[in-house]
Structure 1
Amino acid sequence: MRMRKMHTVPDKFKENPLWIRLLIPILCVLISAGAILLPTLLANDTQLITEDVRTRYTVGSLAENDVRAKETFHYIDEGETRRQQVLAAKSVLPHFHISMIESRKMLAMVDALFVGDTDTTQLLEDGGFQDTQAILESIRILPDDTRKTLHQFLVETLTRYITMGIFDQDELMERRDEGYEQVVVYNVVGDQLETSAKVLGMQGLQHQGTITSMVNSDLRSLRYLLRGDIQSLAFDILSTIIRPNVYYSPVETAIAREHASRDVVPSMVRVEKGQYILKTDFVITDQDIKTLQAMRMASAKYTPTQLIGRIFFVLITTASALYSLYMVFEYTKRKFQYILLFLLGVLFTQITTYIVLLQVAGRGFVSLDPFLPVFTLPITFALVTNRKRAGMIAAMLLGSYAVLLPSSTETTVFFIIAVSFCGIYFIRYASRRIDMVFQWFFGIVAASFFVLFNNLINGYGFGHILSSISAISANISATYILVTLFLPLIELGFNIPTSFRLRELAFSDSPVLVRLSQTAVGTYNHSMIVAEMAYTAAKEIGADPLLARVAGLYHDIGKQEHPEYFIENQNGDNKHDDLKASLSVAIIKSHVKIGVEKGREARLPQEVLDIISQHHGNDIIAIFLKEAQVAAAADSTASEVKRQDYAYHNQIPQTPEAAIVMLADSVEAASRTIKKPSAQKYDKLVNQIIMAKIERKQLSSSRLSMTDLDTITKVFVQILTGRFHTRIEYPDDAKEENT
């Protein structure tokens, strides 16, 4: 039977700062969005999705089993598409442009020969004429009709050559070497500067090498108009003036080829559901690898229905995890702090998972499960909260999120949960911080064992086992490094009583306890016994034994201010004999408030401070109440004695540990009044004290069952009997006593 819980505890949510109440829902939204968006972002990484295909299957090897398409899908044959794009780009002819500037410059030089002024002379010299004055003189001395005929011939001939186009011989040879027999020539025509294009065969194109013979042929056909010396002069002029006016345009050619390549329709491959991709003992081809990769990419794309299903899955798993944590921490004042730490840990894990997966993608690992940085949160959370179930809930949530990752397999969630559970289980063997080294070693051994099975189940083969074990070993090592770094920071930042912190408080001489041992020796000895009794009892009923021990050690530190007013520190004289009962009870009650203040100065965890405050509850200080009642009865003028004036005004124990310390404190103090102690007397004493506490409703909120109280009774009796046992009287001892 478990005693009914009284509703005396205030709403713990109100005890948390406003920033925690605002941050928790924000983080819930962030981690839910992260769980949905992270797989979507990673699904666009081709290397990450298809990593295991290239690793598991090798071109030229024999397939070990059949692989069939799970659904109908299409994919672009990138190799064939690239081939078509290359052919399309190759089909674009080289682009040439007629330069109007060069054409006009050549005609201007012809006109300049027949003007002969200073400006034209400079133009001719710039155009390449070596003996400008001699040529000008030869033209000047010609008869007018001959000079006019020569000028007309030069203009007409040059115009005809310009219209045909004069190409650069080297550029034409380069295009021919590229495999082209035709070119596209662009020219600007008309007043509107419209561009026309003509496709010309290279065979009939003119360049510097062919233009000379054309000039000779033209001059021979006009021998009846121009005599021989005039023809020679015309030949020299044309040979000097004529130059390429059609140039190759590599930029426009490249642009045209890029457009042609871009306009190519991708070559699609359709794979039907159930179609064989690999067949056992058939040689794996490069096309098979591409098809397998396409199947993986197709499976990573989400339809609207799948996306809705994932959203519901994330919301349900997140809400279930938060509700489970709320139930685990239902009676803990820190439950919202713990939930805040949990949400921050999940968000940190999501960010590191995204970074790690992007870094390891494309490095040839057959499985990315050993790289997932998801083990730090479960282990750290279990250590921080001293509850392994909390760490297991964290592991199950992260495992559920990992199922949505595009790189996950059928065994990913079981692998994460198994490795995390082993790390959490090994916490039971970590009582000191140095024990984390052994926990790290055992964690690597267990994780390596699970990696071996994970590889075998997924059929990865023994060739990849060593790399996977190395990866998980590095992962576990990084996990425990982060745990070692985060744990002290969380302890100090939130003043959380982890098992390591409690052990340090329980087994080290803090300044508060040292001063207590010097100023109040009786109280110190009493606290040591109470701590031992509370530790053993809490351990037997499944409560937190370290918290009970620390609380037992510090529960009476408030007595160091006025130690002489407490019976365990007195040597004969009782200070209360000279005081009124009302003043005595005020001094006695003050040690609780002083103890809380001193504990807060020493930065004791809030859980310990709560037990210090609650270890007397709102119980009556019976001895002074009776004394006041007797004095009031003797004095008819005295005011009525109020019972609440002689009671502690504190909260009753709210946790099993606080109730155990209350009982241990009362039992240890009362046990010193027993004459000729025995197990039967101790058993009767303990039962009387427990029943009195129950009657006065001091244990109604402690969540202790009657079975727990029976166990506590047995533990207390066993400890008291062992500590205050009787001894056999030896003859020498009797002789000394008589003497």
Structure 2
Amino acid sequence: MGKFNKTDKHYFRNILTRVSLVVTAVIIIVGFLPRNSGPQFRYDIGKPWMYSSLIAKFDFPIYKTDEAIKGEQDSIIKAFEPYYNYNTAVEKEQIGKFLSKYKEGIPGLPYNYVTTIADRLHRLYQAGIMDTPEYSEISKDTTSTIRIVSGKKATNAEIMCIYSTMTAYEQLFTDQKLAEQRQILQKCNLNEYIQPNLNYDEERSETEKADLLSTIPLASGMVLSGQKIIDRGEIVDDHTYRVLNSFEKETQRRSATVSAIPSTIAGQILFVATLIMLFTTYLGLFRKDYFEKPRSITMLYTMITLFPILVSVMMSHSILNVYVLPFTIAPIFIRVFMDSRTAFISHVTMILICAAAVKYQYEFIIVQLVAGLVAIYSLRELSQRAQLFKTAVLVTIGSSAMYFALQLMQDNNITSMDHSMYKYFIVNGVLLLFAYPMMLIIEKAFGFISNVTLIELSNTSKDLLRQLSEVAPGTFQHSVMVSNLAAEIANKIGAKAQLVRTGAMYHDIGKMKNPAFFTENQVGTNPLDKMPRIEAAQIVISHVTEGLKMAEKFNLPSIIKDFINTHHGSGKTKYFYISYKNEHPDEPVDDSLFTYPGPDPFTREQAILMMADTVEAASRSLPEYTEESISNLVNRLIDQQVSEGYFVYCPITFHDIAVAKQVLTERLKSIYHTRTSYPELAKKNNKTENTPPAKQ
């Protein structure tokens, strides 16, 4: 039996990865999907029934609306008589305290005032005294009554026949005899002897209230098995609407009694698994490189899984409206960090899965697909905040327009249409603006880099680039030139221009360690000329490793570090290598001492940088700048890179390389202002036969 080679292992690893992703995503999504078994219909009051005739398959009650039940509950609560316990000990204690304090009489008044006040207090306590805040709440309705429990007897009492501590104090002075001596009696602080003797009996009151509320019937009528509920084309009125609602509730209740709803779960698993497998198949056929990048796969399946979970939770717990969820954030992120086609396929897959949890599936799918297309079309490249604002506005307009169109198709009467949905589209657009700050989270979590970040990094006032311009001005100017050349090539061949521009700005930052050893920063002699060739080569090579150290120190993204690492590939410092071989013709040469650490470029952008960097540096050494000399230089250097295999591991084509040559030649001609050479006069038989050329 033959052994598996690396290709076989790689193939089976990819298969296992895909199967694991599909299974995990399906389990998570299905675990959150609501278990809505039975038919799901769309219907509204005043609209025609769009489905076939609906016949009841079982007996079920016609449930009242929540508003009707709430009204009956409010009516019962309004008429409810709360229970209060009558405490006889309060009267005895308070009147006893009063008599004890004024047993010698009230100063300035005859003794009979003491007995009069004690009698008035007795009458107040007999009527009943409540705490003032509690009394104020109940007495809002002057017809309210309460039940006073004294021992085992409960009697009804009107609230207006009872006193609060405040009204009881005022009642004392309605007696003319006491009112005449009010100034003297106020010094006695009679309010201290007026305390509540009616205490709310919470347990008995709440039990009684619950018993009364439980008597409210939840249904008003029955539908018998075999009875027609509604026929196609009939208008849904208030009664039919309640019947249809009751039918759906009863269907769900009956389905919930079945063990784990096996048929519903099986259908959901099949539905979700099919969509996830189709999406995975798309990646396997057209985006194989994403399977090689864990961050890409993680983000894609996170997006596809997250929104169905949110929709399921919102539907299961009746939280807000699903249209407030900014579904288009997913295709925006995938478009910015990956590509448009994957963004669209991901959005379609995500929306179709979400549709399994919503009620009005047709409307939801159409509106969200249009919103996703608008987002993808309007945001080809995110580089400014204003672009995201424009996308949010366009998505809101697109969603609203599509919903309005669907309403027109169902009901041509604009005045009777439901306009409440548009506020959800506006909220959706506002939430979509949070995609900008969330982009930083996505970058940090999954290791991506957006154009916004690249633009920020390429700002020459940034710490590292500003330091480069001060410490190594020649290298800085070289980096600027290379970034412009590389970006133009990228634009011509459809590569990522902003990425290669930013990578070019940082590719030589390692030269800040020893700037004087590099020709672009030198004025006069070159210190490398006086050094041994091996040592000189090591100094030149070290600018790559030093650049990586600086990139680590300043937390540059890994994709920028790749430009530093690959801009020389695994090539040699040829000047020192050849010089050393010429000086030591009979000695073996350790090639590694003259070789850059590599690796060779593995993306088109890295290959573009290598070509632009090599050509721009070499162009400075041309003895003269003519169209022919520049063209020869560009062709010779790039052809040499191709022949030495620098571009074997990157997806750049011969057409891309040809375009790069053309761009570099034209740009260098423009930079160095080459002019057309004037022809010399040809002589024949000592006579001039050619006329002088016109001025150019």
Q: Same fold (TM over 0.5)?
A: yes
Which stretches in structure 2 are left out of the alignment for 5+ residues? 1-5, 65-152, 154-206, 678-696
1:339 corresponds in structure 2 to 297
1:239 corresponds in structure 2 to none
2:315 corresponds in structure 1 to 357
In structure 1, distance between residues paired with 2:346 and 2:391: 19
Q: Do the aligned residues in 2 keep the contact of 1:652 with 1:701 (CA within 8 Å)?
A: yes
Q: Do the aligned residues in 1 keep the contact of 2:536 with 2:576 (CA within 8 Å)?
A: yes
The answer to whether structure 1 residue 477 and structure 2 residue 430 are counterparts is yes
Q: How much does 1:417 deviate?
A: 2.1
Structure-2 change in CA distance of 1:422 and 1:317 (3 Å): same
Structure-2 change in CA distance of 1:544 and 1:73 (3 Å): farther
Greater CA deviation, 467-476 or 447-456?
447-456
Structure-2 change in CA distance of 1:69 and 1:40 (3 Å): farther
Structure-2 change in CA distance of 1:530 and 1:26 (3 Å): same
Which stretches in structure 1 are left out of the alignment for 5+ residues? 1-6, 15-20, 81-170, 172-250, 730-739
TM-score, reference length from structure 1: 0.62
In structure 2, distance between residues paired with 1:575 and 1:433: 48
In structure 2, distance between residues paired with 1:489 and 1:285: 50
- Structure scoring higher RCO (CA < 8 A, sep ≥ 6) equals 1
Q: 2:673 aligns with which of 718, 725, 735?
A: 725
Higher helix share: 1
Q: Do the aligned residues in 1 keep the contact of 2:572 with 2:595 (CA within 8 Å)?
A: yes
2:331 corresponds in structure 1 to 378
Q: 1:269 aligns with which of 224, 228, 242?
A: 224
Q: How much does 1:294 deviate?
A: 5.8
The answer to whether structure 1 residue 573 and structure 2 residue 557 are counterparts is no
Q: Do the aligned residues in 1 keep the contact of 2:335 with 2:380 (CA within 8 Å)?
A: no
1:526 corresponds in structure 2 to 478
Structure-2 change in CA distance of 1:579 and 1:425 (3 Å): same
Q: Do the aligned residues in 1 keep the contact of 2:230 with 2:240 (CA within 8 Å)?
A: yes
Q: Do the aligned residues in 2 keep the contact of 1:532 with 1:549 (CA within 8 Å)?
A: yes
In structure 2, distance between residues paired with 1:620 and 1:667: 16
What CA deviation, in whole Å up to 9, does each residue of 1:686-717 have, x standing for no partner? 22222111111100111001111112122212
The root-mean-square deviation of aligned C-alpha atoms, in Å, is 4.3
In structure 1, distance between residues paired with 2:623 and 2:403: 65
The answer to whether structure 1 residue 652 and structure 2 residue 600 are counterparts is yes
Aligned AA for 2:364? T
Q: How much does 1:681 deviate?
A: 3.0
The answer to whether structure 1 residue 678 and structure 2 residue 630 are counterparts is no
In structure 1, distance between residues paired with 2:50 and 2:379: 45
Work out the percentage of aligned pairs sharing the same amino acid: 21
TM-score, reference length from structure 2: 0.66
The answer to whether structure 1 residue 396 and structure 2 residue 348 are counterparts is yes
Q: Secondary structure at the match of 2:379?
A: helix
The answer to whether structure 1 residue 69 and structure 2 residue 27 are counterparts is no
In structure 1, distance between residues paired with 2:322 and 2:661: 51
2:138 corresponds in structure 1 to none
In structure 1, distance between residues paired with 2:401 and 2:308: 26
Q: Do the aligned residues in 2 keep the contact of 1:430 with 1:439 (CA within 8 Å)?
A: no
1:103 corresponds in structure 2 to none
Q: How much does 1:432 deviate?
A: 1.5
The answer to whether structure 1 residue 426 and structure 2 residue 384 are counterparts is no
1:206 corresponds in structure 2 to none
Q: How much does 1:676 deviate?
A: 2.9
Q: Secondary structure at the match of 1:684?
A: helix
Number of residue-to-residue matches in the alignment: 521
Q: 1:33 aligns with which of 6, 27, 32?
A: 27
Structure-2 change in CA distance of 1:279 and 1:493 (3 Å): closer
Q: Secondary structure at the match of 2:230?
A: strand
In structure 1, distance between residues paired with 2:472 and 2:482: 15
Q: Do the aligned residues in 1 keep the contact of 2:475 with 2:508 (CA within 8 Å)?
A: yes
Q: Do the aligned residues in 2 keep the contact of 1:12 with 1:333 (CA within 8 Å)?
A: no
In structure 2, distance between residues paired with 1:499 and 1:587: 34
Q: Do the aligned residues in 1 keep the contact of 2:314 with 2:322 (CA within 8 Å)?
A: no
What CA deviation, in whole Å up to 9, does each residue of 1:630-662 have, x standing for no partner? 1012xx5xx312334322231110111111111
Q: Secondary structure at the match of 2:380?
A: helix
The answer to whether structure 1 residue 278 and structure 2 residue 231 are counterparts is yes
In structure 2, distance between residues paired with 1:325 and 1:387: 12
The answer to whether structure 1 residue 694 and structure 2 residue 642 are counterparts is yes
Q: How much does 1:436 deviate?
A: 2.4
What CA deviation, in whole Å up to 9, does each residue of 1:230-258 have, x standing for no partner? xxxxxxxxxxxxxxxxxxxxx9xx99xx9
Q: Do the aligned residues in 1 keep the contact of 2:324 with 2:428 (CA within 8 Å)?
A: yes
Q: 1:707 aligns with which of 655, 662, 666?
A: 655
Structure-2 change in CA distance of 1:452 and 1:640 (3 Å): same
1:499 corresponds in structure 2 to 451
In structure 1, distance between residues paired with 2:285 and 2:458: 29
1:92 corresponds in structure 2 to none
Q: Secondary structure at the match of 2:584?
A: helix
Aligned AA for 1:498? S
In structure 2, distance between residues paired with 1:79 and 1:438: 47
Q: Secondary structure at the match of 2:649?
A: coil
In structure 2, distance between residues paired with 1:271 and 1:605: 69
Q: Do the aligned residues in 1 keep the contact of 2:502 with 2:560 (CA within 8 Å)?
A: yes
Structure-2 change in CA distance of 1:521 and 1:499 (3 Å): same
